[in-house]
Amino acid sequence: MLATILRGLLLLTPAIYGRQLSRLETVLIVDDSVVGGENTTKSLNVSSCPGYTLASLSETTHGLTAKLNLAGPACNAFGQDVSNLTIQVTYETRTRLHVNIFDTDNKQFTIPESVIARPPAPSTSHTKTSDLVFHYDSSPFAFWISRRSEPHAAPLFDTRIASLPQTPIPPSSDDNRTALDGFPLVFEDQYLQLTSALPKGTNIYGLGEVVSSSGFRRAIGTNGDNGTIQTMWARDIADPIDQNLYGSHRIYLEHRFNQTTNKSQSHGVFLFSSAGADIMLLTPASSSTSLIEYRLIGGTLDFYFFSGPTPQSVIEQYGGVVGLPTWQPAWAFGFQLCRWGYHDINETKEQVQKMREADIPLEVMWNDIDLYHALRDFTSDPVTFPASEMRAFIGELHANHQHYVPIVDAALAKQVNATDIYDPYTKGVEQKVFMTNPNGTEYVGQVWPGYTVFPDWFANNTQNWWTEAFRNWSSSGIAFDGIWQDMNEASSFCDGSCGTGANLSNTTVPNFLPGSPENPVTAYPECYNSTISGPSGNMTVNSTSTYTCDSTNSSSITLSRRGIGAGNQSGVDLNAPPYPIHNGNGRLAIHALATNATHAGGYAELDVHNLWGMMEEKATHKAIQEVLPGKRPFLISRSTFPGSGNWTGHWASLGDNFSQWRYMYFSIQGILQFQLFQIPFVGGDTCGFNGNTDEELCNRWMQLSAFAPFYRNHNERAALSQEPYRWDSVANASRTAIATRYSLLPYWYTLFANASTFGTPPMRALFFEFPDEPELFSVDRQFLIGRDILITPVLTPNASTVDGIFPGRGTVVWRDWYTHDVVNATSGANTTLPAPLGHINVHVRDSSAILLHAQPRYTIEQTRQGPFSLLVSLSADGQAFGTAFVDDGVSNPPGPSTTLSFTGSKGQLRIQAKGTFNIKQPLQDITILGVKRPTKVMFQDETAKHWIHIEAQDKLVVSNINGDLNGRVFLEWK
């Protein structure tokens, strides 16, 4: 009704406001989601905001501090203007600059040190030596960041009005969200705005979590697109495109190419804030610049700038702020299997047995919420998954060097009566560990078990209570090796606290489980002709293809983005902030917790919502350390935030995906995003989670995921079974891909040791390693594992070839992983490669030396106990180098280790060991590519007894050497 009245008043509003309404005002006032009626207390237009004037500047040893005073009458666009701000500029390291703008009275929310610890204060002054330089104008206040080495180049970040396009700027499409009324610095209690100019069409990566239609490189409005609006609000939703998802990461990497010098440099910008926000990337029509605009509904403007200048160094420098990734146990790199819909323990055991019968390696068996009694955390169903039988089953897995991971949902069931015994709830009530309503009563939501409560990670007793719940669960028979955390945005199915006046004994929920009679999974696989083969999912039946779509026009699930809503309440409104960010669910509380829900210390959910998942991960990591002392916690989680990588890996922007070809492709950009976010142990649910997969898609996906860090096949309840043994072609492809993966485990393990030690990303976009080749800047259908392994997967149906680019423009020799043949690649353009079903293209870079497991076995432990081999691919001038990190693979904290260095040069290969870990397994053989036939081969200064040379690949193979990797190893050929 109110919206109708407002539409009627629209003709009168220019007179009411004394001016013409802006595009943004118009959509705010007339949107159907307007509630209240007090928009007159907010201007809804930043064009009248006065900005700030700098005063009282004082230089410090490490930077400067100054006051910022409101430069004119308050505009109160979406809240109350803050009159007095403070800016602190700190040159923290030579490559990191910290610019923090906050309210002088410190009333705005900032992330507590107890949640995410900041880097220590600098001990050395970097004001004269920093790669970055801070500049400012006093009135109106604006700042810009430049490189010290390039003072006259375009700034890396530039908030000066003169550097930005003239406003007002109409929407770049019929979407009024892109209207730009002005670019002043705005700092209000519920709205903050800051805008920076960018070089037109620059390359931006990051800002997530998102499944982006533009790929790994974000749309900026210069390639026929409308730019990007990245909303920062953790959200429970199954992988829509171009909408906010489970996590919030406001870090971007910008990669600039200088067409004069043909050289590139990267830098990074990180906004350290948990506030709900829109971050916009746009290029206004006829503008000579692009821009990035931050619109926050709370908090402060706390920026870190990273100078790079390489993509890898930007990511490492970001890790210096948010922390480095947790150490993964070696077994985490094995193949893992799950199904939401294993009805009982016998079916779960059957899958393990069938995998072994098919000789498809299985490292980890998972259980979804089928495990639970009444869908409650920390339980097992006494009929279908009795604790005693689960104890025996998990014991069998452990005896076979396999592992077990169960799920833990974010919400705990609320006990409904005195006869309902549920200790995690009753003990939680006693210890006051659950979130509350503003009046102190228990906050009640609704998730799978019915009415639920939510742990408050800010409460004093929560960690001990949480640890006790895991310890009791493990002792009861669910002897887990790791934990899978789900629904931790946190998600709730009701709107607001839904316990008041409710019938708490009613355990039904508004969302029916997939596969239940009310919510069947009936759709056939994508573009599948069911008249040929019924529900089998087979790729062909009687030699006839079951696929009926044009591969370039695969069907998809369309999820539209909502327009801007309106919350025009006066004062501070926690439930409907005056500026409505573009949350895909609409109001912020939809499918989430009410934003006025309260945490210990008085924190409102509005301010800490995006932290919920990360804080749960931190608590769970610590709990596992207590329950499994001395072992590395293994954790996979859905919602993430900066710093989550300290505690967990991740699956969900890649996992609650769809069994469609384009979602297999999307998994690559997701993996690359999380390398930037310092959460490198990631991977999508192989073969797709939602809907029904088919033979060909699963075949290709099992191959692709074998080259992702986290490798799990998982699908939804009642969908077609997609275990890799279901189709012979998938089983064959899986065995081949897993064998390659397991042989590469020393390489994978070393990359992740480097990630945990230095923040170096294990998986890389091609331009990370080849930053001066513009044709690579948008490539995200291929990727690199480390610097040396190039993966070119098939991502479309009915294909027998695949196009891929080989970086280096002819200066790098790429060799086929399987045959060791040199690739005759087209310089700087695509090369067509054969890719029959069951084959994924893998290539090795020259100048590399890669330690391998010589005999891949059924489990990681069995594989690790076997001998090593070494693959060396020489460059054109005969050089090669590599390293390998070796330890026991499980100790926490990591114990003794040894780092091996492999150096090839001038007909020699030297292996040197540094460290105290004793490597028991011998080096069985060495393969060197790029060697002309030698006349003499020496190993350890003696004539080698077993060697062959294969001229077609210029390959020298020295076998049966039984080399001791704890000492000097020397090979020479002439």
Please identify every residue annotated as catalytic. Answer: 486, 489, 656
With H, G, I as helix, E, B as strand and everything else as coil, classify residue 692.
coil
Residue 279 CA to residue 294 CA, distance in Å, equals 5
Long-range (24+ apart) CB contacts under 8 A made by 168-171 are 168/22, 168/23, 168/47, 169/284, 169/285, 170/23, 171/23
Query: What's the DSSP call for residue 724?
Result: T
Q: Are 76 and 41 in contact (CB under 8 A)?
A: yes
271, β-bridge pairs: 303
Q: Are 466 and 472 in contact (CB under 8 A)?
A: no
With H, G, I as helix, E, B as strand and everything else as coil, classify residue 606.
helix
Residue 750 CA to residue 276 CA, distance in Å, equals 37
Cis peptide before 525 (omega within 30 of 0): no
Q: What is the DSSP string of 533-572?
A: HGGG--SEETTEE-B-S-TTS------PPP----B--SS-
Q: Are 220 and 202 in contact (CB under 8 A)?
A: yes
Question: How large is the angle between the packed helices 311-322 and 661-676, nearest 10 degrees?
Answer: 70
Residue 340 CA to residue 519 CA, distance in Å, equals 14
Q: Are 268 and 314 in contact (CB under 8 A)?
A: yes
Query: What's the DSSP call for residue 10?
Result: T
Length of the chain as a residue count: 974
Q: Are 70 and 54 in contact (CB under 8 A)?
A: no
Distances, alpha carbon 474 to alpha carbons 479, 623, 632, 828, in Å = 4, 11, 16, 55
Burial of 399 per CB tally in 10 Å (0-12, 13-18, 19+): exposed
Query: What's the DSSP call for residue 178?
Result: G
254, β-bridge pairs: 204, 267
Cis peptide before 209 (omega within 30 of 0): yes
Residue 177 main-chain phi, psi, to 5 deg: -65, -20
Q: Are 207 and 250 in contact (CB under 8 A)?
A: yes
Query: What's the DSSP call for residue 194?
Result: E
Largest CA distance in the chain: 97
Residue 277 CA to residue 290 CA, distance in Å, equals 20
